Amino acid sequence: MKPLLIIFVALPFFSFADSPNKEGMRDVFRSHSSIIQNCYKKALAADPSIEGVVKLAFHISEGGKVEKARINESSTLKNKAVHDCLLSHLVSWIFPEPPEGRIISAEYPIFFEKNSN
């Protein structure tokens, strides 16, 4: 039987106290959960042993646009295909807009694990 895919999405970390609504941020990730799953599933097909945490680091600018997206080096899932896939999609997502004139630094961990049951 194929392993089931489990993805845990935690609350994001922001660099400023006046950061956007964390639930709004989580909602954006939830609305793109199928994309996130597909990025992992494709890589899992090539390497069934991969699992861990990917920490997406990025800035949210005017209009909720993503800038300077990257993978935080403390991520434990070290798979370029997953990283590239997630980043290629993340840059097109729109998040809650930061307060006027501010750019918010955000870090968002996504936990990937396979279930062999």
User: pLDDT, tens digit, for every residue of 65-74?
Assistant: 999 999 999 9
Q: What is the pLDDT at residue 9?
A: 53
Provide the whole-model pTM: 0.81
pLDDT at 76: 94
The pLDDT of residue 6 is above 80: no
pLDDT reported for residue 73:
93
At the second CATH level, the architecture of 26-115 is: 2-Layer Sandwich (3.30)
All structural domains of the chain with their residue ranges: 26-115
pLDDT mean over 86-95: 96
Residue 70 to residue 83: CA distance in whole angstroms = 8
Stretch 14-41: mean pLDDT: 79
